Structure 1
Amino acid sequence: MKIGAFDINTITKNDCMKAMPLMPSNSVDLILTDIPYGNVSKNGEERAKYSGQLRKLDKEDADVETFDLIEFLDECYRLLKGSIYIFCGIEQMSTVFDYFDSKTDMTTRQCIWHKTNPSPVNGQHYWIHAIENCVYAKKRKTTFNQHCKHNVWDFPAGRGKIHPTQKPLGLFKYLIESSTFEGEVVFDPCIGSGTTAVAARELNRQYIGFDISEEYVGKANERLSAIHIAK
């Protein structure tokens, strides 16, 4: 089975802004993605009042926003049949939220992932960072499998990460179960270590994923192969 130019249940090395136009409109049930935040890593010495006060937070290429955000959102909206979750940086929140909130066929919410075991990095200097932002938007009269659940999700951050911004598998499984049924298609245009695909496979959903990094595409496919072997 294919969606446009791409086989279902695959993760491939692609620039999402070149690949998404090769997919037909209204072709995916859910988009779940963690986009490059663009402003995650800052040198500790630059941010500290005194030289060397803070530890450097290095998120590698997770800092590099490689596409125009509005053009990216336009493609996501075109492809979407149901719901979208976009984890994003605080500087991106208003743009992403306002984009979907302006659509008359969508309902939009700001959501928070509360890390129940946040890293204590620089905790001696200021409040420990224990949240990440997510914009959720849903087309009207589409799937929502929860009832009266709030928009703060309590999940621990994973250990032994493959990717510097890797999200916990349990969190992504919760979101996929909340917004799809078995057999439906979950799409992640910035799939990184493959967590979206792993969660989809374990929940009997279909998936498609892209990433610009050959290294992480390889690691993501290794994770999926391990699931297949285990089963």
Structure 2
Amino acid sequence: MNHEPNKIELKKNFMLPQGDTSTLIKQIPDDSIDLLLTDPPYNLRQYSTGNINMSWRRNINNDLEAWDETEFQPHDWLADFKRIIKNSGNIFVFTSYNLIGKWHAAFDPEFDTFQFMVWHKTNPTPKVYKTSFLNSCELIVCVWNKGHTWNFISQKEMHNFIETPICMGNERVKNPRHPTQKPVRVLKHIINIASNENDVVFDPFMGVGSTGVAALEMERKFIGFESNQAYCEAAEKRLQNVSSPSFEP
């Protein structure tokens, strides 16, 4: 008897299955993803000192979401990431200082190139106690093989460094609020460099769907997974409000 899971077929410009990514990813066909762009857990909860109550501004949230308690190991995702990405595809993963070495150990031997980008946040959360640096930078793992899609924009714009404010204003989803929502501007920059129109962008940890918004606005297709129902519903609403371009069948 054939127990192979049903395969996901992208028949419109986006699909947002809700559920456990480790299970759903088995339904992604081999060699079908042009760009894997995602923001998985950082495992930072163990370093949290708890919320800081403020009288002059909103409280500083150091109590990270429950999903960050789950130990995330890059090596556990290597086989599926490698299976689903096209040889011409790219993998970009937001991460933190405590995991960058694990990403390198797992992915560098399996791909032709392993590099990183730095996203500098111009308005990071202030350090109330002034005992250490502000956490103003996040790292982005960049992985590909020879012959990968690469749109070199200009020498000035191709630094492995991008600087923007954190996600705020009308772009920030208020209900439910996602603590690590990424600015669409940062995601568009990566999508522009590492994929082409009509390509399939995949985010297995999509949160409130910012990668999908960026992908659709840049005339790509999108597949996103999310286990949290409220986040998934927020993502669906956001993507439905993006003007849908015409795609080739």
Report the TM-score range of the alignment, normalised by the length of the smaller protein.
Answer: 0.7 to 0.9
Trace 1:200-219 onto structure 2 (pairs within 5 A). 200-219=215-234
Give the equivalent residue in structure 2 for 1:193: 208
Q: Where does residue 104 of structure 2 map in the other structure?
A: 97
Measured in 2, the distance between the counterparts of 1:207 and 1:122 equals 39
The Cα offsets for residues 117-166 of structure 1, whole Å up to 9 and x where unpaired, read as 22214363322110011110112111111244221111211115331101
The number of equivalent residue pairs is 219
Q: TM-score, normalised by structure 1?
A: 0.86
2: CA distance, partners of 1:165 / 1:41? 17
SS in structure 2 at match of 1:196 = helix
Given residue 108 of structure 2, which amino acid in structure 1 is its aligned partner? D
| Higher relative strand content | 1
Please say which of residues 183-192 and 36-45 is displaced more in the overlay: 36-45
Residue equivalent to 2:22? 17
What is residue 159 of structure 2 aligned with on the other side? Answer: 150
Residue type of the alignment partner of 2:138: E
Rounded to whole Å, the distance in 2 between the matches of 1:158 and 1:42 is 23
Distance in 1, matches of 2:71 and 2:16, equals: 19
Which of 106, 110, 113 is the aligned partner of 2:116? 110
| 1:41–1:59 CA contact under 8 A, matched in 2 | no
Counterpart selection for 2:180 from 160, 165, 169? 165
For the 8 Å contact 2:121–2:164, the answer to whether it is kept is: yes
Residues in 2 aligned to 1:83 and 1:23: alpha-carbon distance in whole angstroms:
16
SS at match of 2:135: coil
Q: Which secondary structure state, in structure 2, belongs to the residue aligned with residue 71 of structure 1? A: helix
Contact 2:120 2:164 in 1 (8 A): yes
> Following TM superposition, by how much is the alpha carbon of 1:40 offset from its aligned partner in structure 2, in angstroms?
4.1
Conserved 8 A contact 2:127-2:133: no
Q: Distance in 2 between matches of 1:184 and 1:101?
A: 25
Alignment of 1:170-185 (within 5 A): 170-185=185-200
CA change 1:44–1:71 in 2 (3 A) is closer
Distance apart, 1:72 and its partner CA: 1.4
Equivalent of 1:135 in 132, 137, 141: 141
Structure with the higher fraction of residues in helix conformation = 1
> How large is the RMSD of aligned CA atoms in angstroms?
2.4
Identity %: 31
